[in-house]
Amino acid sequence: MAVSPRKPRNVDHLVLPVTTLELARERLSRLGFTVAPDAVHPFGTENACVFFANGSYLEPLAVHRRETCEAEALKGNVFVARDQAFRFRRGEEGFSALVFGTQDADADHKLFRKLGISAGRQLKFSRPFKTPEGVEKTASFKLAFAADLRAPDSFLFTCERINPPKVDRTALESHENGAAGIAEIAAGEPNPSDFQYLLQEVINQRNVNAHSFGIELAAGNANIAAYGAAGLKAWYGIESGCHGRGLRLRAFSVAVRDLTVTEKLLKKNKVASRRIAHRLVVPHAPGQGCVIAFEELGRERGQ
């Protein structure tokens, strides 16, 4: 196989719509994650993130002020408009967006427009946040959006951090379940190759591993997979299939240091799970967005 001349982007974070942050915090804590303090966006949404040592994180997202969200959506805020559309179509819980890190969101936006995959205008914003020590700082971001009209329930974007403040997140990156980072993102679609082009361009990865379960592309720090119904069932125990046509984000896997330790923790916290292949899979429950799996750090599938 030829080596791709491109440098694949790293997965930055996953956007997980939830009903309330209180519910998300309770559920994710039972799963063994350390959850950061609540943070409010200037456009009406709020989050309570789970940060990992490899730089990736989970973003449980709730509605803070519905009136503000509606006004911002009317102004063309893609992030809020997509969140509102997702909640209307799929409900208050799910996995709506896959986000990649970038050093130049402006260039990404121009590229997405040129390729015909732009989801709308860029978004630049700042918001205050508190460190684990209670110190208030400001974080600024610039986003470039990509999407496919055939997949109304999922979108992708790149995220550039502007003059990021230096913060010691060691305490927030330490998790009782041993989590170290996002290992895989799993989407569902009856014919995954129909969305190969979109994924290739946003991930910045030409090489595709195609097989009977679907397709996989290597991002800089995680595996991105689009599975058919058989793949979703085989790797994540999802029995409901692909829910018709259109790429939909369905599950993700987190790398942990010791899967046995994680399994014991889940049993202690009365969290249902089951072993599937080399993973420990937790079915969806309110507050976690979607199916979450755990796999041992550094272990390749099939070993």
Mean pLDDT computed over 263-277:
96
Can you give the residue ranges of every domain in the chain?
11-162, 179-296
Fold of 11-162: 2,3-Dihydroxybiphenyl 1,2-Dioxygenase; domain 1 (3.10.180)
- Integer Cα distance of 205 and 56 in angstroms: 19
Same topology between domain 11-162 and domain 179-296: yes
What was the pLDDT predicted at 169?
85
The residue with tokens 């819980």 is 93
Query: Read out DSSP for 13-53?
Result: EEEEE-S-HHHHHHHHHHTT---PPPEE-TTSEEE--EE-T
CATH dotted code for 179-296: 3.10.180.10
Q: Please answer whether residues 213 and 231 qualify as being in contact, where contact means their C-beta atoms are separated by less than 8 angstroms.
A: yes
* Ranges 2-11, 154-163, 214-223: which has the least confidence: 2-11
Give the H or E element holding residue 81: helix 78-90
pLDDT digits (tens, 9 = 90+) for 28-65: 999 999 999 999 999 999 999 999 999 999 999 999 99
- Give the CB-side neighbour count of residue 129, counting CA atoms within 13 A: 22
CA 219 to chain centre: 13
pLDDT digits (tens, 9 = 90+) for 154-206: 999 999 998 777 878 899 999 999 999 999 999 999 999 999 999 999 999 99
